[in-house]
Structure 1
Amino acid sequence: MRKSLLSLALAAAALSGCSLIPDYQRPEAPVAQAYPQGPAYAGAQGVVGGTPAADLNWQSFFNDPQLRRLIDVALENNRDLRVAALNLEAFQAQYRIQRAQLYPAVSADVAGSRQRLPAKVSSTGNEMISSQYGATLGVTAWEIDLFGRLRSLRDQALEQYLASDEARRSTQTALVASVANAYLTLRSDQDQLKLTRDTLATYEKTYALTKRSNEVGVASALDLSQAQTSVESARAALAQYTRLVAQDQNALTLLLGTGVPADLPQGLALDQPILAPIPAGLPSDLLQRRPDILEAEHQLKAANANIGAARAAFFPSISLTANAGSLSPDLSGLFDGGSGTWLFKPSISLPIFNAGSLQASLDLAKVQKNIQVAQYEKAIQTAFSEVADGLAARGTYGDQLAAQRALVDANARYYTLAEKRYRTGVDNYLTLLVAQRSLFSSQQQLITDRLNQLTSEVNLYKALGGGWQDSTAQKQAAQQPKG
């Protein structure tokens, strides 16, 4: 019996190399070999060499200590990231379940029964009580994977696990970028709020001076009304930015998954180097570095493996049930000599007619693979577009900010001159009013432009695949499924 089982196992192992999974060929990237060129990208070439975005951890990219602390808190408490990590554990368990199907499940069974038979149904014509006790060790309905169906399903489960790992990394990348953008938006609105308060104080001072001038007959009622419109406009803006700051804090708290720590370090000002420079690299780098692209490719490989399982379903399915043990009519004699028993029960199932179900399953598997090909190509195109947008932003925001700063300086000089000319009676109040509003508007726009520049750099860092680096221990744990 043992020799028979061993021979069968060796034969199964010899045939187990058969696989009906199609050879995997990575689809060609449906994008250009280089990023766009032109006037919008001229300033984007300033970062040469250096560490690629995907190799630059977020602690090195973000120079602001307050922002780094907030990202740390979010990575510990954010619920979306927690769900992604739990999904990874779920897919890991599914892989282990599927892999276990390749091996026989050995079980030990002990059973006993006693039965009374009345005389009219007894073979002897007399009432009798029969007893039977048994103890066996064996396998039940073990499918011998001659045509690779189970191995195809195992490979599919493995690729889905790897895809879920990339999904977790993609979630972390998005979380890091979202926290950074929420923080920068909050800091920008806080700057806007401070600017509005300062401007309102200036307007109120101007209004008070104009009111006194009106009382002594120097300023007209029109001048006083115009001064009041500036004050009320600034008050409306003050209420607006007060609301935005509160909402920004709420959005940041949601991303953190907990309250904002009270012991945050001092943050950098928006006009300081909050972010480290990063090189753009090549479009081909995205294929190996963007978690969402890697996730799409693993899903494609999973669909490819599923075709192998669908093909294998056309072939016979062979299973084996075998056990050995002892049977006895008396519990005390269960292991006595001569009570040994064994069972060897191979079975084969050959599909003959299934109304096209197997062919439909194969067709479905092929269609699903084509869907995954399209989704993989779309992920590449999206990544390429996001990087190109980021490079266009990098190439133009420097000039835009320089021009906006020059405009603020010019408006400041304009306002100083207009105020002097109005106080000396050379110009009317309308000129001063226009100068005030132009200065306020240009200062607001400068803060907005700086925010847009910073968020575009954060989004470029994310688009290039940065932001998901794990600690060494986490990396090692994520490399292979457990068990």
Structure 2
Amino acid sequence: MALCAAALPLLFACMGPRPQPPAGAALTPPPAWRVDPGPSAPLERDWWRRYGDPVLAQLVERALASNADLGIAAARVAEARAQQRLARAQLLPTLDATATGGRSRSLNALGRESISNSFEPQFQAAYEVDLFGRLADQSTAARAGTQASEAAHDAAVLSVAAATARAYLTLRALDAQLAVVRQTLAAREDALRLARRRADAGYTSQLEFAQARAEYESTAQAVPQAELAVARQENALLLLIGESPSGEIARGAALSVLRPPPIPDGLPADLLRRRPDIAQAEFQLAASDANLSAARKAFLPRLHLSGSAGLLYASGVASPVRIWSLGGSILAPLFEGGRIEAGAQVATAQRDQAAFAYRRTALTAFREVNDNLAALRQLEAQVLHLGQQRDALAAALRHATNRYRAGYSPYLEQLDAQRGLLSAELSLIQAQADWLNASVALYQAMGGGWSRTD
């Protein structure tokens, strides 16, 4: 005991000063977003309902109920909670029941045989006194690990909801593109029949008929290509909602009538408490900091107490004898070959990694919000101009078709107008899908209505 007391100042000296977090990991949220969000509305947990498509809402809720990734995340939360209970149990004493017995044969001083029996039932208790808080630090780290797992589960929920919404909107875009290609194919088929009649009647050359046929075949091959894209997107959506590929995906509102919901409100500083992935990184940082504290306290002595009480039944003893013992031990590490110091250095490096990971997660979140705010504004303008271009090209195609049928212009004039309209319609559909998907990404970047509760 005296030796441990004398060595205590030396052991504290071995700990050294507590390592501070790296200065480069400090984080200061920006005062505002780079793009003015304009009018905004509160962000709700069921944000996907704001799109006004019941099928979209149903698919997201099916995914949240059956997605395999969410099942994995929930199992990880259960594992972390069990680890927390395990760490908390280290703070409590242990109590065991034991029973030992034996039978022995020996010779006494006169050379006579002696047989004795013994039986000892006992209760044994052991307890490590948490003198310097090492076990409490380990329990704190386990609790923070549980909170990190719970935040990771919430982040997975948000990710699955956003992925399902994007997959459905992409599917509706592919549906719209397939419909446009089929409409164009029908128009090319009419043009091919007209070109054949005109060529057979001698009004035009076979070159014009060959051009019409080539354009028809070019559009015809695009139909199975678009159908394949739709089938693959349906399979991807079925995987997200946790169903077999043999299932069917219902369709709701047309892509052209869907509009992004109002922009969620909130400042960059609010984002630190509204994104589950940021909360996860913060809890992981707290866990690594507690582990560092526990690793440094491994330099200090440990006090163990033990005791037992029971009865002794033995041959030749008329009644059982009460037996008991009390004891204690102090373990003070004097030479461990550098293992304790290396463990503390490992814990310090892990804490620093967690600090930089938290900073990176937060900066990534700020960037995602800024990116999607800018995307919403620019894509809205793009959709507007593409719609006007589509209307102008549709009018040009009507004039070109009338002129061609009346014999005032060659087929190439109508063909150019058809090509331009097809390209504009496909571009408009893609821009509408990008616009809607950017709003989904913004809702995800803003935390999807999640809020941290300590």
Cα distance in 2 between the residues matched to 1:263 and 1:69: 13
| Partner of residue 134 from structure 1, selected from 120, 126, 151 | 120
In the alignment, is the contact (CA less than 8 A) between 1:159 and 1:299 conserved in 2? Answer: yes
Distance change >3 Å, CA 260–CA 47, structure 1 → 2: farther
| Stretches of structure 2 lacking an aligned partner (at least 5 in a row) | 1-16
* CA RMSD of superposed structures (Å): 2.6
Aligned-pair identity (%): 35
1:86 aligns with 2:86: no
Q: Give the letter aligned to residue 64 of structure 1.
A: D
Q: Give the letter aligned to residue 104 of structure 2.
A: R
In structure 1, the residue corresponding to 2:326 is in which secondary structure?
strand
In the alignment, is the contact (CA less than 8 A) between 2:144 and 2:283 conserved in 1? Answer: yes
Distance change >3 Å, CA 193–CA 264, structure 1 → 2: closer
TM, length-normalised to structure 2: 0.90
1:222 aligns with 2:207: yes
Q: Which residue of 2 aligns with 1:10?
A: none
TM, length-normalised to structure 1: 0.85
In the alignment, is the contact (CA less than 8 A) between 2:238 and 2:247 conserved in 1? Answer: no
1:47 aligns with 2:45: no
Q: Which residue of 2 aligns with 1:393?
A: 375
Q: CA deviation at 1:427?
A: 1.7
Cα distance in 2 between the residues matched to 1:331 and 1:160: 58
| Partner of residue 33 from structure 2, selected from 28, 32, 35 | 35
Q: Give the letter aligned to residue 129 of structure 2.
A: I
Q: CA deviation at 1:22?
A: 8.2
Q: CA deviation at 1:201?
A: 0.6
Distance change >3 Å, CA 118–CA 361, structure 1 → 2: same
Q: Deviations over 1:236-259 (max 9, x none)?
A: 211110100110011111111114
Q: Deviations over 1:145-177 (max 9, x none)?
A: 011111111011111110000110111111001
Q: Which residue of 2 aligns with 1:58?
A: 47
In the alignment, is the contact (CA less than 8 A) between 1:401 and 1:446 conserved in 2? Answer: yes
Q: Deviations over 1:30-59 (max 9, x none)?
A: 5532221xxxx4xx53333x213xx44235
Cα distance in 1 between the residues matched to 2:270 and 2:46: 16
- Between 382-391 and 130-139, report the one with greater CA deviation: 130-139
- Number of residue pairs the alignment of both structures matches: 437
In structure 2, the residue corresponding to 1:189 is in which secondary structure?
helix
Q: Give the letter aligned to residue 64 of structure 2.
A: L
In the alignment, is the contact (CA less than 8 A) between 1:383 and 1:463 conserved in 2? Answer: yes
Cα distance in 1 between the residues matched to 2:385 and 2:316: 97
Q: Deviations over 1:163-193 (max 9, x none)?
A: 0001101111110011111111111111111
Q: Which residue of 2 aligns with 1:424?
A: 406
Cα distance in 2 between the residues matched to 1:71 and 1:284: 29
Cα distance in 2 between the residues matched to 1:272 and 1:25: 51
| Stretches of structure 1 lacking an aligned partner (at least 5 in a row) | 1-19, 470-474
In the alignment, is the contact (CA less than 8 A) between 1:21 and 1:152 conserved in 2? Answer: no
Q: Which residue of 2 aligns with 1:451?
A: 433
Q: CA deviation at 1:275?
A: 4.4
In the alignment, is the contact (CA less than 8 A) between 2:192 and 2:216 conserved in 1? Answer: yes
1:436 aligns with 2:422: no
1:106 aligns with 2:95: yes
| Partner of residue 389 from structure 2, selected from 388, 407, 415 | 407
In the alignment, is the contact (CA less than 8 A) between 2:32 and 2:268 conserved in 1? Answer: yes
In structure 2, the residue corresponding to 1:133 is in which secondary structure?
strand
| Partner of residue 194 from structure 1, selected from 176, 179, 182 | 179
In structure 2, the residue corresponding to 1:288 is in which secondary structure?
coil
Q: Which residue of 2 aligns with 1:72?
A: 61
Distance change >3 Å, CA 363–CA 155, structure 1 → 2: same
Q: Give the letter aligned to residue 128 of structure 1.
A: S
Distance change >3 Å, CA 162–CA 25, structure 1 → 2: farther
1:253 aligns with 2:238: yes
Q: Give the letter aligned to residue 427 of structure 1.
A: S
